[in-house]
Structure 1
Amino acid sequence: MLSPSIPNVLTIAGSDSGGGAGIQADLKAISARGAFGLSVITALTAQNTCGVTGVEVVSSAFVKAQLDAVFDDIDVAAIKTGMLANAEIVATVVDVLRAFPAIPLVVDPVMVATSGDLLLHEQAVDAVRSSLIPLATVITPNIPETATLLGWSVEKVTNDPEAAAQALCKQGARAVLLKGGHGEGDTSTDLLYMRGQSLALQAPRIGTTNTHGTGCTLASALAAELAHGRDLSSAVTEAKEYITAAINAADQLHVGRGHGPVNHFYQLWQSKQQ
């Protein structure tokens, strides 16, 4: 009997030399969720757990060359976008992805790194809002990103996340997973809003500073779950459970002096230690 095929998941994002976020986190999460990771790199960052010290943006022409190379040869079951750097790259990605409307697309509207460094040029925010988000199966903004996309205050989003998710859908998003990691309290609540229905996903807030790359990891895990054929609510639930466990195991790692990464392979490494 043939074993089930392993789906291919494409991530379009920036590289993190510290290994905790961006393309590196994406590929780890995709692999951990049982899929094969493909990558298109939009930017190189000189980065560690303490911050970003440099960014080299890839030309939009070479981003297109990478995309064409992937789609000319490989069957892609799901796509995730992360750091897209500037409006030209956003336009290039949108032009290519319009040809593949049947492939699930997870858009993580990455704007600012955990350290506070800007990862998306301000003029590109409009391009993400107007052209990329309407193509997405689901978008996965955190609270500050939601505030930027809507022109709201962070406080307004925090006080009424469901209204914020509804507003994003009115702007063209088909579904929104509004992440609650930037909130306060003992519980971290993510809100999935789609087709007028909402689902709250709660998990205990974990006391660790090792949260670098959580957004990238969650979005990539979600893309992998969609590639396996799960419906959106089931895929989000699986991805939420995975990122919670990866954060819970983050302190097993000793990577850098700042905000360290989550433990993407906690299941594999635990089994190796037994």
Structure 2
Amino acid sequence: MERCSQSNEKNDSITRKLIVELKDGINYLKKSTGIVPRLAVLQVGDREDSNLYIKVKENMAKKIVVEISKYKFNEDVHQRKIFSLINSLNLDPNIHGIIVQLPLPNGFSEFELTEAIDCIKDVDGFHSSNLTRITKNCVFNPPCTPSGIIRLLSEYNIDLEGKLVTIVGRSSVVGIPLFHMLNNLNATVTLCHSKTRDLESMVKMADIVISAVGKPALIKGHWIKPGAIVVDVGISYVDGILQNARLKDSSKKSGKRIVGDVDFENALKNASLITPVPGGVGNH
């Protein structure tokens, strides 16, 4: 999170700490059981944001010594073929976790495909049994991004109890599970989305704003209450002109730049803490 000149050092320190924790746990697992953890990642299509997320997973897997098996399908694949693969992976003792990279192209059922995953191997926590357990505060596999957000806030010693939290984005990936997880921690949570009427007022009242929509500059900087905390997990690729600012990044061969949902530079004037995009949640 951005707060002072040392914020990047703080973020890197948190990342290193988590990597050490994970590596230690995985090394213990290997020594005590002989199990080498392997994650299966299924992707349909070639979305830029999905490619980015999978690359992040691969980079982290290398750091913590987890093996990854990737299965990529063209958009014209029949859903039955994906079901067949998932069933095989469910039965494969050498596969310990399965992820279907979301979102899927039109014509594919995210619900049916994630439901097909054995809930024990559902490391994303999207299976209905895992999502139901979140509401009861006894989840087996908590969703990764919401868990990462809560861990990040904890590392900055932010007490969530009684805080007014506005979540923008109602997906099953972030918004909905995060709503329940924060509620379990005694925060007062409002769940909004891109079509919420008077979204500005919902954001302005919040002690903590969390956005996960994927719409550039959806959250204006002046909406942020002075001293509020902002966690931006939205990702969009942009180029050309947005809000009178050149977003073309000459360091990228594509000429595109990754941005979040929040007008970062202006929000920085009011926020006490704010995550950058890229370089914030899920980008290490």
TM class, shorter-length: 0.3 to 0.5
Q: Normalising by structure 2, what TM-score?
A: 0.37
Q: Computing the radius of gyration over CA atoms, which structure comes out larger, 1 or 2?
A: 2
Structure showing greater relative contact order (alpha-carbon pairs closer than 8 Å, 6 or more residues apart): 1
Q: Could you say which structure has the higher strand fraction?
A: 1
Q: Could you say which structure has the higher helix fraction?
A: 1
Q: Normalising by structure 1, what TM-score?
A: 0.38
